[in-house]
Structure 1
Amino acid sequence: MHLLTDTAGAVQGMLKSVADLDPVFIPAEEKGAALLAWVDVETQVAELRLRCMASAGDAAAAEGFHSVAAWLAHHGRVRRSDAAADLRLAEALDRDLPLLAAGLREARVNLAQARVIAAAVGELPDRVGRDVVAKAEAELVRLAGEHDPKDLAVLGRRILEIVDPERFEDEERRKLEEAEKRARERQRLRIRAVGDGTTRISGVLPDAVAARLATYLHAFTNPRLADGAVRRTSGDSGDQEGGRAQASASPSAHPRRLAEAFGQLLETLDPKRLPIHGGDATNLTVVLSFEALRSGLGVATLGNGVPGDGFDRITAGEARRLACNAQIIPAVLGTDSELLDVGRASRLFTKGQRRALLLRDASCRAEGCSIPGTWSEAHHLLPWGHGGCSDLDNGVLLCSRHHHRAHDAAYDMTRMANGDYRFARRR
């Protein structure tokens, strides 16, 4: 019988001799030493097992198994994924990582650290050369004497910078260029109407694009100001802001605010800077009846030039709200669907008027709301459909939430003595 088999049997016999030993009776100073000693033994036994595994392909083939991992999963009753991971490590130690194998054999590196080191060395590009790979392996084995697997993984991602700083700069540039190229090839965006008044947007974007979008959205979602506004209005039961304050603490509050910010971002885009689309700047045409325009009741159709996309119907009330600040063009129909008027976006407040409103109002003029005026929208007090003009006397700054309420038939909007507006749910 081979020495390895004899040794395994001897170890099992020694373990049986201490099977009934209760460590609770060992003196405290000896317990720590015993614990560390058995960690080292476990590491050395694992290295020996991996060494046997790397050369046991013939044993697996003799029984018709396609790999040692499959053979071990069957006979050793272990998970196939664990056996496959062990085989990869065993082959790497046997073929490419002699210093790491020696570190395991001498218990200077434990098994978890060895997996981290093997992964870090394996991620080095082939073009760096064998000498650099050997330096990286040696340095990580040395660092294993001072760092746990988690910290070692962080160092492993920077190992090329540690052992060859000059080459690291070039490799980092190459890696980023390849990542950016893959990102451009993989980028996708899907917009699909669900059919219940919502549309699902999903996609994969390059990091740079996602970072810009996140920056823009966070400009609308200052949590300190938004939460302060909610707290100040939470006592108004008629406005039902107390529920909003509770909702702001829920995990879904921030994603909801990001969705609201996305809508605000779209409404603040300058159409003059967008590509020409269908012979005009990229505008949105809303088709609705004259009566719906005046009353805010009924529905409107979005003429967005993209047939069959599924999101082409909104309420007339939403169309009236958009008319305050979005670049939409109303196409008004009479009783027999004859085209009465195709309006222009000239009813929007001008930049000068916006600046004047900002100087006058400074922030959202809803009672208790302190959302900055730069984040707010200009609202027509007398709707455009009722003959309201785009002048300062007919305008007020409202944040997106209160602007929606101004166009919500379920709420009354009342001017207070100080010029603020109070919203109360109609009973």
Structure 2
Amino acid sequence: MSTTTTLPAWQLSDRDLTSRLLTTQRQQNVAYAAQLETIRELEARGALPEGYTSTSAYLATILHVTLREARARIAQATGTLPLTWKALSAGEITAQHAAVIAEFLADAPRWLTPEDYTVAEDTLVTLAAQANPSVVRRAATRLKIYWDNDPADVPGSPDLDHGLDPDSVPDAGSDSDSGSRREEAARPWREFRWQWTQAGRFRFSGNVDHETGTLIEQLLVPLAAPDPATTPDTPDPRTPSERHGDALAAIVDLAARTPDLPAKAGERAVATVTVDLETLRSTAKTVVAEDESVLSAAGLRRILCDAKVYPAVLGTEGQVLDLGRSARTATNAQRRALAIRDRGCTFPGCDRSPKWTTPHHIVHWAHGGPTDLNNLASCCERHHRLLHHSGWKIVLRDQAVHWIPPSILDPEQKPLRNTAHNPPPAPLGHSPRQAARPRPAPAPPPSAAAS
């Protein structure tokens, strides 16, 4: 037995403390997999002591957990989750990860093929190995939204196929668009309520449609950024809500006296949407914007009527081939290229979208690193700071950013690629006319002891 595992924590070095944390977490994950294996066998045998009417009631009593938690563990133990079982038994994901994945897949549409089901599980398990359960849950929610769209709206659906005509509207009897949808497109629902208080303050509230909300957000974000600190000990004293209030005041002031718009990273508000021509031609398909919202192709075309559109030349593997030129700091074109290539912060497990990131020189400018796409990576503020003040390093391999952890976290220092921004896997058989296909039979989980 290692001395590290027997010594009291106060006798360990800083490095050994981290090593014990990682080891004990892995052991805890493996132990949970062993417990689920036991629950599965208990449920299969029906081996309940006299006086208990259900396995869940028995587990809640002897494990001192709630009945809801007991039922959740039974669902995890008896579900069809071979990839989750494998990762959990190897100690690579936690009990919370397993719970999120099991809950999501239990509600998966019945029309999914076994291949769809496996791809979805693999997507979430891969992300779980590098991200916390909250990020995995958001990815699962994103996938659910993608699945829950009307079958005619899912890429690959064999339904309607309209030409690229912004004025084309389906017939009144078409199932793909109702009268209420056409009315919403012509006159979106927006509300704004305001009043003057006795103290002379202007109070307001309301809500707007998605397209207007996206524009407002794009205007607020750059103007609400914290002011640079004059010294390390004097950060911006304003709260986030105060900064957004000041940003709104600036927008109103600009609108009152000039047609100029606020700048975001040096240019007017820009939203990046990656879409192929085939999808843009069809009103029956959907696209995912950089904020992970799902838009119809028709809705996207409405946005593009008033937007600045930048075409990008993409290679067969999706890498940006021609967009942007080198400079001391990243140009606007390079920022758009990074948004397309990186899709957001590149740190493993981070799901911050492009608007929350800044370009980072992989080889620092002061050390001779050029400002071109092959030497830039998108990082959010938190992970940009981590990169400068820890042992993490960045490399670019096959047009994908990989992070190399410090040896204290991984002695082998295996490069990690972020999968939090990967698009939802396209279902193979999304059509209401297809009969539901049977799910694969639950496979016995791998023995946790073998890990």
TM-score where L is the length of structure 1: 0.36
By percentage of residues, which structure has more helix? 1
TM-score where L is the length of structure 2: 0.34
Higher RCO (Cα < 8 Å, 6 or more apart)? 2
Q: Which has the larger radius of gyration?
A: 1
